[in-house]
Amino acid sequence: MRCSRVLLALLLGLLFGATAHAQFPYNQPIPPPGPLMYVRFVGPKGAKIAVYRGVDQGQTLEMPCTVGFRPGYAYRLAIFDIPGIPQQVFSPTLEVHGTLALTPKMRNADFPATIHFSEDELRRVLFGMYMRKVVTLERPDLAIPQESSRDQPIELLVQPGRDPALEAHERGQPMVTLQIGQRFYTPQEMNASAVPGTILLPGDKALGLPRVPPYLLWRICPLYDPLHGPRHPSEWTTIYDGGDLHRNAGFDRHGRLTGLDPTDTLAEYMDSKGVKKFAASNRVGICVPRFIVFKSEMTFATYGAKSRIKNDFIVSAPAASVGQAGLKEQSQANSAETVSTRFKLGGTFNTLGTSVAGSVKGFKVVSNLRAPASVAATQAGPRPVEPEDGPLLIIKWPDVEIVNVGDIVTFYLKYTNTGGQRIANLVVTDSLSGRFEYVKGSTKADRDAIFTTQPNEAGSMVLRWEFSGDLAPRESGLISFQVKVR
What b/e readout covers 326-341, taking b as 16+ CB neighbours within 10 angstroms? eeeeeeeeeeeeeeee
Distance of CA 409 to the CA centre of its chain: 19
Name residue 444's beta-bridge partners. Answer: 480
**Domains located in the chain, CATH noted:** 31-222 (no CATH), 236-289+389-485 (2.60.40.1170)
* Per-residue pLDDT tens over the stretch 372-393: 556 565 666 677 787 889 999 9
pTM of the model: 0.74
Diameter of the chain measured on Cα atoms: 140
Confidence of residue 202 (pLDDT cuts 50, 70, 90): very high
Name residue 51's beta-bridge partners. Answer: 59, 77
Q: What is the pLDDT of residue 313?
A: 36
Confidence of residue 101 (pLDDT cuts 50, 70, 90): confident
The Cβ-side half-sphere exposure at 10, using a 13 Å CA radius, reads 6
Residue 368 has pLDDT above 80, yes or no: no
Confidence of residue 182 (pLDDT cuts 50, 70, 90): confident
Q: What is the pLDDT of residue 223?
A: 57
Q: Is 475 left (phi over 0), alpha (psi -120 to 50) or beta?
A: beta
The Cβ-side half-sphere exposure at 149, using a 13 Å CA radius, reads 4
The H or E element that residue 8 is part of is helix 2-22
Report the range of poorest mean pLDDT among 13-22, 213-222, 262-271, 438-447.
13-22
d(CA 164, CA 177): 10
Rounded mean pLDDT of the chain? 82
